[in-house]
Amino acid sequence: MDATITEGTGTPQAPPHELIWEVAQAIVVSRCLHVVADLGVADHVGDAPVSAEHLAAACGADADALGRVLRLLAAHGIFEPATGGYRHTSSSALLRSDHPTSMRAFARLNGLPVFSATFGELGHSVRTGSPALEVVAAKGLWPYLQEHSEEAMVFEQAMTAKAHADVAGVLNAYDFERHRRIADVGGGHAHLIEAILAAHHGHTGVLFELPHVGNEVEPSSRLEVVAGDFFTDPLPSCDAYLLMNILHDWDDENASRILAAVAKSGEPGAAVLVIETVMPEGPEPHWAKPLDVVMLAVTGGRERTEAQYRSLLGDTGIDLVRTVPTATAFSIVEGRVR
Ligand SMILES: C[S@@+](CC[C@H](N)C(=O)[O-])C[C@H]1O[C@@H](n2cnc3c(N)ncnc32)[C@H](O)[C@@H]1O
């Protein structure tokens, strides 16, 4: 049997033993990326090739070890081998701290102690259905981050970093003009709401965030910052509510509580814009699938199909109106408060 093509997923695959090899070893490539991003190697690579010795000296690393790690990453298109060392590819350039759409923090994220320990405990999630993170940090992710400011800083930077492309995709895909006052619920460092306000000068926004995140964001004449907890504090009254990468952090019961809080604060007709990956029904590879397992392990949340969103929203008094795809893996599931 020729197993090189389409078995199971409908997409081309490696022969069976190579496929197992590839997937079993994928963690090695990921770890190399985390470590190189952590060390800040990319900041020392310029236009001309730089040797592993030079990079190791600049980053406090062992030259032979770093060279071997860079060789592996280069085989995946991250850094390019050149005479005399390595230079950037368009991907490795994103690991520079000063790149305007830097992904360095995102590349560091899963290497943080809390996350690498959590993925080490994935078996706990699969056996019990509960987040592996509870073995590592019993109180859960958000209280853990409140108590670990260095990891929290990388987490928040990573959210901003991963959002660079997604925010542009959301702005291109959806017309925010008709919503005059918009709340970004759990909006992190306000990257989405600030981008919307920059594009729509007559609009105002409210960032609603936990105090340790919200207090780091500077309010302005058009952006109000409300520090609070969406499970216990009332949300502001607005024409539209953004929930970007919020509902996927929570199981159905808690996601419903958040949606119910939105439905309570919004007037009938207020828009609820759930920005998430939407899980395809089919077997094809999709970014929602690894992200879903991350949510299983880290928060106890999940990625959802459109049908699951329809039912979740419907049960809390919000009608799903349409799902708008964007140029990235994210879609905008648009609901309206009844
Ligand atoms: C996955 S991040 C998403 C951040 C941002 N919306 C984005 O897409 O980049 C989830 C956010 O929810 C916030 N959050 C978690 N629990 C919260 C709560 N109980 N009340 C308000 N915000 C909360 C976190 O501080 C974090 O910024």
Mean pLDDT of 6-20: 80
Cβ–Cβ under 8 Å, residues 272 and 334: yes
Q: Are residues 180 and 43 in the same domain?
A: no
Range of the domain at 231: 162-337
Residue nearest ligand 1's atom 9 by CA: 159
Does the beta carbon of 159 sit less than 6 angstroms from any atom of ligand 1?
yes
Residue 319's domain is classified under what CATH number? 3.40.50.150
**Residue 2's pLDDT band (cuts 50, 70, 90):** very low
Question: pLDDT at residue 46 above 90?
Answer: no
The answer to whether residue 122 is domain-embedded is no
Q: Are residues 179 and 321 in the same domain?
A: yes
pLDDT, one tens digit per residue, over 166-203 is: 999 999 999 999 999 999 999 999 999 999 999 999 99
Does the beta carbon of 213 sit less than 6 angstroms from any atom of ligand 1?
yes
Question: Catalytic site residue 34?
Answer: no
How many distinct structural domains can be found in the chain? Answer: 2
DSSP string, 69-89: HHHHHHHTTSSEEETTEEE--
pTM listed for this prediction = 0.91
Residue 84's domain is classified under what CATH number? 1.10.10.10
Q: Work out which ligand 1 atom sits closest to the CA atom of 163.
A: 9
The answer to whether residue 62 is domain-embedded is yes
The rounded Cα 33 to chain-centroid distance in angstroms is 17
Cβ–Cβ under 8 Å, residues 299 and 249: yes
- Residue ending a domain, among 99, 124, 144, is 99
Which of 157, 208, 249, 259 for mutating ligand 1's site (highest number of atoms within 8 Å of CB)? Answer: 249
Q: Calculate the average pLDDT of the chain.
A: 95
